[in-house]
Amino acid sequence: MFPTMTAEKPISLKPQVPLREPSAATDDVQRAIKLETRHLDFYYGNNQALHDISLQIPERSVTAFIGPSGCGKSTFLRTLNRMNDIIEGTRHTGDVLLEGTDIFDPRVDVVALRKRVGMVFQKSTPFPKSIFDNIAYGPRVAGLKDLSRLTEIVESSLKRAALWDEVKDRMRDSAMALSGGQQQRLCIARALATEPDVLLMDEPASALDPASTTRVEDLIFDLKSNYTIVIVTHNMQQAARVSDRTAFFYQGHLVEVGPTQELFTRPKEKQTEDYITGRFG
């Protein structure tokens, strides 16, 4: 279940032999770099949270960020769609590039950026509205009013999030009435409705029961053929199950990044090895 991925620098890439059974179509393809950070430093006030992070995220794959609490992985995730802009007193140096475009360029519209780089949070955040209105929220704030088009988007988003069969007969019911696992898949469907290229997930399954977690993980695996997915997780088994590449963060530094299989079996760094073998964190 671990298709081969690009190495850190696409130029020096040699296609690797698949470690296991290949998943359809996406193997042996040299994937372009979707997101890239270069020497990113990030500060909360005077407190430096990220130190010189340079990382490339290939498209149509799952990249997992792991590391102990407070290591900066969530902060890093939130810089990728500029959600940290909301927090007062934050600043950064270095670049974040989406398909080569600096997302902090003054000409970049942060609203347009967030439509292309969707986000799912740790705590499911259904709006106190109907299921339909929840999914249609993103397209509506973007100015779409045509009801038949909205209906199409809602249906396809819910299908992609594997929630359609469970809710198709109660689109007008409040989203707050759904179960926790359903609410989280609703949030994923809602993020998909804006038709993003990238989906950022901040511990999307940490508040869910095992059965719901499995469903969300299956969903992530299905989605990666169309989306670039970045997932923050505390759960190393989860990172091993769903991701193609894994990045290990520690105390605001990016310690190691590589294909998930390699990072978990043959970590290059001592800190990575200590963390994944449970010696700290």
Report in angstroms how near the CB of residue 31 gets to another protein at its nearest.
25
CB closer to another protein, 88 vs 165: 88
Contact between 147 and another protein (CB under 8 A)?
no
- The single residue among 61, 183, 194, 243 that binds another protein, judged by CB under 8 A, is 194
Contact between 179 and another protein (CB under 8 A)?
no
CB closer to another protein, 84 vs 246: 84
> Shortest CA distance to 58 belongs to which of 268, 262, 258?
258
Q: How distant, in Å, are the alpha carbons of 86, 135, 189, 250 from that of 111?
A: 12, 17, 19, 31
CB closer to another protein, 199 vs 247: 199
Site string for another protein, 200-239 (x = CB under 8 A): ----------------------------------------
Do 254 and 54 touch, CB atoms closer than 8 A? yes
- The single residue among 25, 141, 209, 237 that binds another protein, judged by CB under 8 A, is 141
Strand 90-98 to strand 101-102: parallel, antiparallel, or no bridges (unpaired)?
Answer: antiparallel
CB closer to another protein, 32 vs 87: 87
Report in angstroms how near the CB of residue 123 gets to another protein at its nearest.
6
CA gap 151, 155 in Å, rounded: 6
- The single residue among 15, 45, 142, 218 that binds another protein, judged by CB under 8 A, is 142
- The single residue among 11, 24, 111, 211 that binds another protein, judged by CB under 8 A, is 111
Contact between 153 and another protein (CB under 8 A)?
no
Cβ-based neighbours of 188, under 8 Å, separated by 6 or more: 120, 161, 199, 201, 204, 216, 219
Report in angstroms how near the CB of residue 236 gets to another protein at its nearest.
26
CB closer to another protein, 44 vs 121: 121
Stretch of 4-12, 110-118, 152-160, 237-245 lying at the interface with another protein (CB under 8 A): 110-118
Contact between 125 and another protein (CB under 8 A)?
yes
CB closer to another protein, 25 vs 142: 142
CB closer to another protein, 3 vs 139: 139
Q: Number of residues interacting with another protein: please give it, by CB under 8 A.
A: 26
Contact between 165 and another protein (CB under 8 A)?
no
Would you tell me which residues interact with another protein (CB under 8 A)? 81, 83, 86, 88, 111-112, 114-115, 118-119, 121, 123, 125, 127-128, 137-138, 140-142, 174, 176, 187, 190-191, 194
